[in-house]
Amino acid sequence: MSKLVVISGGANNFGKGIAFGFIKEGWNVAIIDNDKKALEKINEKNLFKFHGDVSNENDIKNFYSEISNKYNRLDVIINNAAIGGFKNFFELTLDEWKKVIDINLTGYFLMVKYGSPLILENPGKGSIINISSTRAIMSEPGNEAYSTSKAGILGLTHALANSLGPNIRVNAISPGWILHENESIKDAEHKQHLVGRAGTIEDIFNLALFLANDKSGFITGQNFIIDGGMTKKMIYF
């Protein structure tokens, strides 16, 4: 039987590209996304779609209930759903702050809380991959809610690695500048990276695939920065 990976925020950009990548590798894929229109545009074999809000506990419970009934297994959880919420700090409201934290961080907690028991029912071992960001370790003005949520993901990752081992490994991926679907940038923007280009969704997928399978079986609790070297580049003005 094909392995199953679930992906939050799987109808757009990173999530969509990762989902399609796993399908091409022969996996079954289930996605949950709050963007109903984007979900309706996706029609792929071996793909299960669920319209839901990752910060809503009942939506997560219902998602996994359907997963259990349809597949009776789960191997990998990829937490990806997120919103930006970039705003001047002094104009950021408490409700706006809470919304970012609820989706970007609490949503990850809920996905693991209700999904990991399904993984543990398998005879083999599983993997959880949390998509964070280089903004967890570096920032710019107006990033308070987003950066805090992404930094929280790193703490959640190593805590879960301790709680869920040895049968479930938990790792994080922190992307830098990754081009979204149909996005193009100037040559100078590419060349500022140490590798001479910005990243692609395929770069993220390749790392996620590695962390999802047994080739990374001795890796857990880690954060993998994938940014073309930008966090190692010293910049002065």
Q: How far apart are CA 102 and CA 86, in angstroms?
A: 15
Identify whether 141 is preceded by a cis peptide bond (ω within 30 of 0): no
Q: How far apart are CA 6 and CA 73, in angstroms?
A: 11
Token couple for 105: 């961080």
CA angle 139, 177, 16 (to 5 degrees): 120
Contact 200, 19 (CB under 8 A): no
Q: What is the amino acid identity at position 219?
A: I
Indicate if 108 belongs to the active site: no
Residue written as tokens 């104009």?
91
Contact 54, 103 (CB under 8 A): yes
* DSSP per-residue codes, 66-113: HHHHHHS---EEEE---------GGG--HHHHHHHHIIIIIHHHHHHH
Active-site choice (64, 71, 108, 146): 146
**Catalytic positions:** 146
